[in-house]
Chains A and B, each alone.
Chain A
Amino acid sequence: AQRVTQPEKLLSVFKGAPVELKCNYSYSGSPELFWYVQYSRQRLQLLLRHISRESIKGFTADLNKGETSFHLKKPFAQEEDSAMYYCALKSPSNTGKLIFGQGTTLQVKP
């Protein structure tokens, strides 16, 4: 069964420090993976998708099929990055259904 695991419930770093939010998935085919973010009192929204290979707000994520990982990284954390981050796997059933991880709270301290 497809599954997404985010091993850290909380990640706390100081402003300017590097950030890596971990995401591991279980899926035997070619996965489509996403990072969604929820800032305080805002809606859940798409941050980035692996097929775009884009950098959004300084964040990047590389798909590593060998390690079945899709970790989210940023070299220098900002206070405004504090939020809840969810890794999600698109179901291979062609329904567009997303399978979410448990989420990681990123706290960037001044």
Chain B
Amino acid sequence: EAGVAQSPRYKIIEKRQSVAFWCNPISGHATLYWYQQILGQGPKLLIQFQNNGVVDDSQLPKDRFSAERLKGVDSTLKIQPAKLEDSAVYLCASSFTTDDNEQFFGPGTRLTVL
């Protein structure tokens, strides 16, 4: 089966600019996760969708980050405006349901904010 797809793979922007990341989960997976992984740290959940509804966005910096999954399939994560501390790898993952014990991860998008 095709895995989780993400684009772009790399992005370099200047602070205060905007950026968007795209994720297409595994077909049939209802649950989609966006994680932020800062260098030297483990992934941290930013937002979780169940179909097109938000399940958990408690750690999403909502003043600058937004995400949507309008049709319950692919998703977009946006940062506007970016700060230096947003430099990280943004990982998308999906699972069949929230009860599923395995999350499948995409290759990630490496963001550098200058």
Listed in ascending order, the chain A residues whose CB lies under 8 Å from chain B are 4, 6, 9, 32, 34, 43-46, 49, 51, 86, 88, 90, 93-103
Our count of residue pairs bridging A and B at CB distance below 8 angstroms stands at 58
Q: Which of B41, B93, B97, B105 contacts A102 (CB 8 A)?
A: B41
Docked-complex contact A43 and B42, CB < 8 angstroms: no
The 7 A-B residue pairs with the shortest CB-CB distance, nearest first, are: A100-B42, A96-B98, A44-B105, A46-B102, A43-B105, A95-B56, A100-B43
Docked-complex contact A49 and B42, CB < 8 angstroms: no
Size range of the interface on B? 20 to 34
Write the B86-114 contact mask toward A (1 if CB under 8 angstroms, else 0): 00000101010111111111111000000
Residues of A within 8 A of B16 (CB): none
Closest CB in chain A relative to B80 CB, distance in Å: 25
Interface of B is mostly: loop
Task: Contacts A95-B55, A96-B48, A96-B98 given; indicate if A43 touches B107 (C-beta within 8 A).
Answer: yes
Q: Which of A49, A94, A100 contacts B44 (CB 8 A)?
A: A100
Q: Which of A34, A44, A49, A95 contacts B43 (CB 8 A)?
A: A44
Q: Which of A43, A90, A97 contacts B48 (CB 8 A)?
A: A97
Docked-complex contact A94 and B105, CB < 8 angstroms: no
Docked-complex contact A102 and B107, CB < 8 angstroms: no
Docked-complex contact B40 and A102, CB < 8 angstroms: yes
Q: How far is B41's CA from A88's CA once the two chains are assembled, in angstroms?
A: 12
Docked-complex contact A51 and B101, CB < 8 angstroms: yes
Does B3 sit within 8 A of A, measured CB to CB?
Answer: yes
